[in-house]
Structure 1
Amino acid sequence: MTVTVVVGNPKPGSRTRAAGELLAEQLTGAAPDHVIELIDLGPGLLGWGDEAVAAAMKTVQASSLVVFASPTFKATYTGLLKLFLDQFAGGTGLLDVVAVPLMLGAGPTHAMAPDLTLKPVLAELGGTCALPGLYLLDSGFTDDPTLSRYVERWTPVAHALMAM
């Protein structure tokens, strides 16, 4: 079982990254095998065929579970994450990957964003999106009972899907 966190925050070492790693660890019982900070891929995301982007894509495609983590910008995920996801083939790019959408925001007004904006794209790319998206407040996600309730409810489902 390989677990990866893809971080769509334009700031490296962000709370988004910390939340993605925490969610991956709590769902699987171990730290993620890979963390991909998309900002590190830089201008390579703007075209096709960049070697670093291709390597990041292969890492994602070889993973059993991937947490796609993004801050909420204008009620949706970041353009940085969009540029990365655009590199994958529709319908098959995330085939056999359990894809978990995670978004952080400053307030509760965009709590539906992971399910309404990010999850459909992950599903369109062929990801297994059986778990609902998770939205956490960025100011206190480590103590948010939403995270522990999510993990308690969805860990058995994540494990069952990864075993398939």
Structure 2
Amino acid sequence: MTSVAVVVGNPKPGSRTLAAATYVARELVGAEPGLVVDLATLGPAVLDWSDAGVGALVAEVGAADLVVVASPTYKAAYTGLLKVFLDRFGPGGLRGVAVPLMLGAGPGHALAPELTLRPVLSELGATIPAPALYVLDSRHDDPAAYADWLHLARLRITPHLTTGAPA
């Protein structure tokens, strides 16, 4: 069975970013993700490198077969909250397939997930077979906003999840 994690770097708990990331994970594998990390709910623990609970989350996310990493677009990049969490992963710390996902207010930052989040996830060892996904905030709950990307992503991601294809 495929292990699926969602990591959301929105500083607001229960955000639209969380809804979008969970939707993408569910649509890619046909089931709810086994692990959802809404970083906003961790409070100051995310800044404490000795916090065992956050350390366990890092280990779980790192071992997931598929991880959707999502953030709202802040200053044309992902949030500092997400950066702090990702800083805990060493080289090779993400061993599965990753989906970089960002939400934004307008099309002007559509390349942000490809240019800012994808390279970090790649550096951490993730396999990223599909293009990064950018969704307009105003369409976060519209399945049509994801449909074309999901069609392409399933073709590229599913073989990695079913056969364990190498990066």
TM-score for the superposition, normalised by structure 2: 0.93
Query: Which region of structure 1 is more displaced relative to structure 2, 1-10 or 43-52?
Result: 43-52
The count of corresponding residues between Structure 1 and Structure 2 is: 162
Query: How far 1:14 sits from its partner (Å)?
Result: 0.4
Query: How far 1:145 sits from its partner (Å)?
Result: 3.0
Are the aligned partners of 1:136 and 1:144 in contact in 2 as well (CA < 8 Å)? no
The CA distance in 2 between the partners of 1:156 and 1:112, in whole Å, is 21
Query: Which region of structure 1 is more displaced relative to structure 2, 37-46 or 117-126?
Result: 37-46
Aligned twin of 1:105: 104
The CA distance in 2 between the partners of 1:68 and 1:162, in whole Å, is 17
Partner-residue secondary structure (3-state), 2:138? coil
Aligned twin of 1:18: 19
Q: Which AA in structure 1 matches 2:93? A: G
Query: Which region of structure 1 is more displaced relative to structure 2, 46-55 or 11-20?
Result: 46-55
Aligned twin of 2:158: 159
Q: Which AA in structure 2 matches 1:64? A: D
The CA distance in 1 between the partners of 2:114 and 2:99, in whole Å, is 10
Aligned residues: percent identity?
52
Once the two structures are superposed, residues 56-85 of structure 1 have per-residue CA deviations (whole angstroms, 9 ceiling, x without a partner) of: 112102211000010000000000000000
Are the aligned partners of 1:70 and 1:103 in contact in 2 as well (CA < 8 Å)? yes
Q: Which AA in structure 2 matches 1:123? A: S
The CA distance in 2 between the partners of 1:77 and 1:98, in whole Å, is 19
Aligned twin of 1:86: 87
Q: CA RMSD in A?
A: 1.2
- Structure 2 residue runs of 5 or longer lacking an equivalent are none
The CA distance in 2 between the partners of 1:132 and 1:156, in whole Å, is 12
After superposition, residues 105-144 of structure 1 pair within 5 angstroms as 105-143=104-142
The CA distance in 2 between the partners of 1:70 and 1:134, in whole Å, is 11
